[in-house]
Structure 1
Amino acid sequence: MMDFPDGLSALSDRYDVVLCDVWGVIHNGVRSYPDACEALTQWGRTQGPVVLISNSPRPSYDVVAQLDGLSVPRSAWQGFVTSGDATRALLEPHRGTKVWKIGPERDGPLWAGFDLTLAGPEDADFILCSGLYEDETEVPEDYRDRLTVAAGRGLPFICANPDRVVQRGDRLIFCAGALADLYESLGGKVEMAGKPYGAIYDLAMAKAAELLGRPVDRARVLCIGDGVITDVKGAHDQKLACLFVAKGIHGDMAIGPDGRLEPDAVHALLDAEAVGATHAIADLVW
């Protein structure tokens, strides 16, 4: 049965490790959430390690500056793994080949060092997608014609960010997962390594074990996230406990007009995707 704690401190006797989503839980791409950052800081001080687990398409070392710039304190986390970290393992078989790279230039560290030659859908050997080129103005349908060509050639599509949308300020922005969905609808084959898929959880658990200095007891790991088909499903599939943060990307469906979490709406939201969460909260607080 899902319960509804007042804050993270109410769960402090049940878990040793937190695997926490980033975008939508501790910041919205424009500003950080001080209460969430303080909750994670308190956990790290009193309970155990916090490992951030993000579907960012860039390697974790390259995302730290973004967190710093959004005033996310270093005290809020002890470890960090990203979809970009997991995706680099998927790039190994494609080393030295031609790639149709879809995504902004800022994601360059994702493919650095693989000796890839940039190409288009007509002559590439595979597709690497980290997002839309211009995510402020484009939508997935803008890519249909080019993706149709690639799917007809049978190009494998590596998706570096399984998120479909992400909250940026008060807007929802399309991510690489939305293009992956379109490519699959056209008959293309997609590979993903971020949430909800297992590779990123393997990295996160290894980092947690390193920080603990001992093997991780999976029964005492708490995943925190706001995405039903990424964070909640990932925890569900990994058989890990999950704290669903309802005011993230699903806030319009799970939060009432008074700003409070509506338990029936949360249950309906999770049931629609055939997943369950152990706990639910409106915002992450201590």
Structure 2
Amino acid sequence: MTFAQATAIEGLGEIADRYDAFLIDQFGVLRDGRGPYPGAAETLVQLKDAGKRIIILSNSGKRSAENDRRLADLGFVSGSWDWFLTSGEVAWQILKREGEGASSGTRKCLLVSRDDDQSPIAGLDLERTKSGTDADFVLLAASEGDVYPLSHYEALLAPAAARGVPCLCTNPDKVMLTKEGTAFGAGRIAELYDELGGTVRWIGKPFADIYASALEFLGQPELTRVCAIGDSIEHDIAGAANAGLHSVLVTTGILENASGEERRKLFAEHGASPDFILPKFIW
């Protein structure tokens, strides 16, 4: 498979007039595990001041409002984005609809989250269980791959996988950024569940549900007037391509140390390449 050569740009100001809306990844574009990238908050304001509609599109298992508050607490200017849409929010809405239509009683959920966060199921008619032996379904919202080895999750999830319990992964990222560097993400745990014989439903980039929600919020715009910005070829660039959108790959984040050849191999592996390559999220 061959791809058109991505155009290198030095700042978003070079292409802003081509688009009406931007879908911007959080981790790896606006911030890393330690905090905001220098100039990212200012660039977001400049993009908004240029009249663009902006959705922060994140593979976070947490709901939108919580991420929205956290970004503002980090120093990003409230109002410089229109919506913070997370895979966790999309999944919560799906689970709410399914719960309203269910005829059986309260379901038991084995929730895998970070720092014992229970917000992914708050307000839903679910009972949390910490055992795979009696769970009705598994919800993979986050990873503590910087704390526990993969074998910890194998022991936790194997009983559920053996029983054929369905799994919903609301954070497809296989690599996450932490204060110490990178670690395996919830997406890798979902892969493990599949390897153990379980079945996984994926919510988030590069899968369709989250893009459908974003485009509905934007009023179903002309797809070629929407541009996605991300640091992951597998999630951001492939997801944009699947949705019919243009894209910008920033070379911060998980591919910061990758060579051009390594990126080209990933383009081929995931069947997608960006329209533009940007060194970092700057105007």
Q: TM-score, normalised by structure 1?
A: 0.89
Structure 1 SS opposite 2:45: helix
Are the aligned partners of 1:31 and 1:71 in contact in 2 as well (CA < 8 Å)? Answer: no
Structure 2 equivalent of residue 276 of structure 1: 273
Structure 2 SS opposite 1:9: helix
Unaligned runs of 5+ in 1: 210-214, 255-261
Cα deviation for residue 265 of structure 1 reads 4.3
Question: Match for 1:283: what amino acid?
Answer: K
Q: Give the counterpart of 1:68 among 66, 72, 83.
A: 72
Separation (CA, whole Å) in 2 of partners of 1:281 and 1:266: 13
Are the aligned partners of 1:57 and 1:160 in contact in 2 as well (CA < 8 Å)? Answer: yes
Separation (CA, whole Å) in 1 of partners of 2:276 and 2:265: 14
Percent identity over paired residues: 31
- 1:172 and 1:125, CA in 2 relative to 1: closer, same or farther beyond 3 A? same
Separation (CA, whole Å) in 2 of partners of 1:25 and 1:8: 13
Aligned residues: 272
Structure 2 equivalent of residue 258 of structure 1: none
Are the aligned partners of 1:24 and 1:166 in contact in 2 as well (CA < 8 Å)? Answer: no
Structure 1 equivalent of residue 39 of structure 2: 35
Q: Could you list the per-position Cα deviations for residues 254-279 of structure 1 after superposition, in whole angstroms to 9, with x for gaps in the alignment?
A: 3xxxxxxx4x4432332232221111
Separation (CA, whole Å) in 2 of partners of 1:280 and 1:137: 33
Cα deviation for residue 75 of structure 1 reads 4.3
Separation (CA, whole Å) in 1 of partners of 2:88 and 2:60: 6
The answer on 1:79 being equivalent to 2:83 is: yes
Structure 1 equivalent of residue 30 of structure 2: 26
Separation (CA, whole Å) in 1 of partners of 2:15 and 2:149: 40
Structure 2 SS opposite 1:31: coil
The answer on 1:196 being equivalent to 2:206 is: yes
Separation (CA, whole Å) in 1 of partners of 2:121 and 2:35: 28
Structure 1 equivalent of residue 135 of structure 2: 124
Are the aligned partners of 1:30 and 1:70 in contact in 2 as well (CA < 8 Å)? Answer: no
- 1:222-233 map, 5 Å: 222-233=227-238
Q: Following superposition, which runs of at least 4 residues in structure 1 exceed 4 angstroms of deviation?
A: none
Separation (CA, whole Å) in 2 of partners of 1:170 and 1:118: 30
Cα deviation for residue 170 of structure 1 reads 4.8
RMSD over equivalenced CA pairs, Å: 1.8
Structure 1 equivalent of residue 93 of structure 2: 89
Structure 2 equivalent of residue 59 of structure 1: 63
Structure 1 equivalent of residue 255 of structure 2: 250
Structure 2 equivalent of residue 141 of structure 1: 151
- 1:82 and 1:222, CA in 2 relative to 1: closer, same or farther beyond 3 A? same
Separation (CA, whole Å) in 2 of partners of 1:85 and 1:161: 11
Structure 1 SS opposite 2:212: helix
Separation (CA, whole Å) in 1 of partners of 2:71 and 2:234: 24
Which stretch shifts more, 16-25 or 87-96?
A: 87-96
Structure 2 SS opposite 1:107: coil
Q: Give the counterpart of 1:207 among 217, 232, 236.
A: 217
Separation (CA, whole Å) in 1 of partners of 2:170 and 2:262: 31
Question: Match for 2:237: what amino acid?
Answer: V
Q: Could you list the per-position Cα deviations for residues 168-218 of structure 1 after superposition, in whole angstroms to 9, with x for gaps in the alignment?
A: 235013221111011111221001211111111111112223xxxxx4111
Q: TM-score, normalised by structure 2?
A: 0.90
- 1:106 and 1:148, CA in 2 relative to 1: closer, same or farther beyond 3 A? closer
- 1:168-183 map, 5 Å: 168-183=178-193
Cα deviation for residue 163 of structure 1 reads 0.7
Unaligned runs of 5+ in 2: none
Separation (CA, whole Å) in 2 of partners of 1:232 and 1:139: 29
Q: Could you list the per-position Cα deviations for residues 106-160 of structure 1 after superposition, in whole angstroms to 9, with x for gaps in the alignment?
A: 532211122212221111111111123x443113222213322211100001111
The answer on 1:241 being equivalent to 2:246 is: yes
